[in-house]
Amino acid sequence: MNFSALYTTLHDIYTPDRIFSENGPLTAFESDGLTAFAVRPKAVVFPETNEDVIATVRACYEHGVPFVARGSGTSLSGGSLPDADGIVIALNRLNKVLEICPDKRIAIVQSGAINTHVSNAASQFGLYYAPDPSSQTVCTIGGNVAFNSGGAHCLKYGMTSNHVLAMTAVLANGEVVELGSDSRESIGPDEVGLFVGCEGLFGIALDITLRLLPKPETFYTVLAGFDSVDKAGEAVASIVASGLLPGAMEIMDSLSMEAATKAVGAEFPEGAESTLIVELDGSIDSVEVDKLRLDQLIEDAGATSIRIARDDLDRATIWKGRKSAFSAVGHLSPDFIVQDSVVPRTKLAEALRRISQLGIDAGIRVANVFHAGDGNLHPLVLYDGNVPGEFEKAEQLAGDIVDVCIDLGGSITGEHGVGMEKRQHLGKMFTEADIDAMHRIRDELDPKTISNREKMFPSAEADSLGLYGLHPLEKQGVISRE
């Protein structure tokens, strides 16, 4: 590894206002949404063209210096945590929606384009981009691609991988590749599907072709209050069993509702221990029929109160309350860990009971908010990092929650990725042969393992020092914010 030689090359690519190595400017890039730990990189560069990115990656490969591509830094798994010996390639200036083609119903965007900006650009044609992660007003399409982001409406419309048709990418070895096509029909291996969700281990997506959908004619959004989270979970099971396919089904417990109300003034059913948000969308005729069935199912499930969104503004406020839940818990606790695991829908009630008991046993509050339709749980483990030992207890509890989900036949991640946070759990889901196959694919595309190094794969050293593989970074200049 020869950083000084790389740095000389970078100054040939970037003007002084687009490359930084001083401590002050580097501070903003030390961590992502997993703020408990941070690493200060050697430098940060700001490419303004694809050619800048390609030249930077090739220079990193030549000199053996690791790099991390970063958009808005909203990853909650340490997925864009820098390497202490490497650089950050900040893609925020590659933020254009390059083309909207209404006839083909596609958008071509740069990797730094903001998620909601795609729908804004497509709106004039009656189209929109379906994946809607909670951070969609700030997160970038490149980051969505890296982690295969979902969102509240992925129950009906699928994850990012269901909406990416093609891309231009630069692999970690400097090779530029064209993957997929703008057609919805493909032949041969699904190379786009392989790249989406690779967590940055293969390289950097540049121009990305997205599938657009027609805007639904109408929406029917219901908030149903229940006297327990279990009953809300059982209501989800009955709705799914009925054959209805809502656009979204979300559950929030009393703690997360309290936080959202304080943060954005969202209205939830009074006195409810949990709220189920269900949204139907589609043609006016189909929604009119389906809402009668939905109302009956919710009533039969024992809802204590039902509120229907009054208008588009009320609907937007409901979703603002739901999507603000992660940040809103800052009103309840100075620090928190966001979990992201999955259980089968039939095991939702059991998972919630076990998570609640784990929190009681640990003496730690856990706020629950989750994509109920596909069993993607987001328990928020609340703690105070200023109290000695609190972070370690919270980390232990978060790890125990992951183990519960695995035990119930689920997954260690639904949409936040493995990153740094859960890499030590990978071997609990996959066999050694599975992980070896993953390594071989990665090594073929990144022989020097310089692209997002030390992410996703288990580490023997980390396994002996911490559940999430974060503690060893203290030896690499990590700044712990606890």
pLDDT digits (tens, 9 = 90+) for 151-177: 999 999 999 999 999 999 999 999 999
Indicate whether 19 pLDDT > 90.
Answer: yes
Percentage, residues of the chain above pLDDT 70: 95
Given pLDDT bands bounded at 50, 70 and 90, which one contains residue 293? very high
User: What are the residue ranges spanned by the domains of the chain?
Assistant: 1-215, 218-328
> Can you tell me the mean pLDDT for 38-60?
97
Q: What is the pLDDT at residue 456? A: 94
Percentage, residues of the chain above pLDDT 90: 85
Given pLDDT bands bounded at 50, 70 and 90, which one contains residue 200? very high
Interior CA angle at 68 toward 66 and 73, to 5°? 160
Provide the CATH number for the domain formed by 218-328 in this structure. Answer: 3.30.70.2190
More confident: 467 or 86: 86
Q: What is the pLDDT at residue 459? A: 77
Q: What is the pLDDT at residue 311? A: 94
Q: What is the pLDDT at residue 460? A: 60
Indicate whether 472 pLDDT > 70.
Answer: no
Q: What is the pLDDT at residue 474? A: 42
Q: What is the pLDDT at residue 440? A: 97
Provide the CATH number for the domain formed by 1-215 in this structure. Answer: 3.30.465.10
> Can you tell me the mean pLDDT for 18-33?
94
Indicate whether 476 pLDDT > 60.
Answer: no
> Can you tell me the mean pLDDT for 374-403?
94
Indicate whether 469 pLDDT > 60.
Answer: no
> Can you tell me the mean pLDDT for 380-384?
95
Given pLDDT bands bounded at 50, 70 and 90, which one contains residue 473? very low
More confident: 12 or 475: 12
Cα–Cα distances in Å, from 306 out to 244, 250, 268, 274, 348? 18, 15, 10, 12, 22
Given pLDDT bands bounded at 50, 70 and 90, which one contains residue 462? low
Quick one: tokens of 79?
């997925």
The highest-confidence range among 62-71, 180-189, 416-425, by mean pLDDT, is 62-71
> Can you tell me the mean pLDDT for 323-345?
92
Q: What is the pLDDT at residue 463? A: 47
Indicate whether 47 pLDDT > 90.
Answer: yes
Using an 8 Å Cβ cutoff, are 462 and 471 in contact?
yes
Closest C-alpha to 173, from 455, 456, 452, 448:
448
Q: What is the pLDDT at residue 467? A: 44
Indicate whether 295 pLDDT > 70.
Answer: yes
pTM for this entry = 0.93
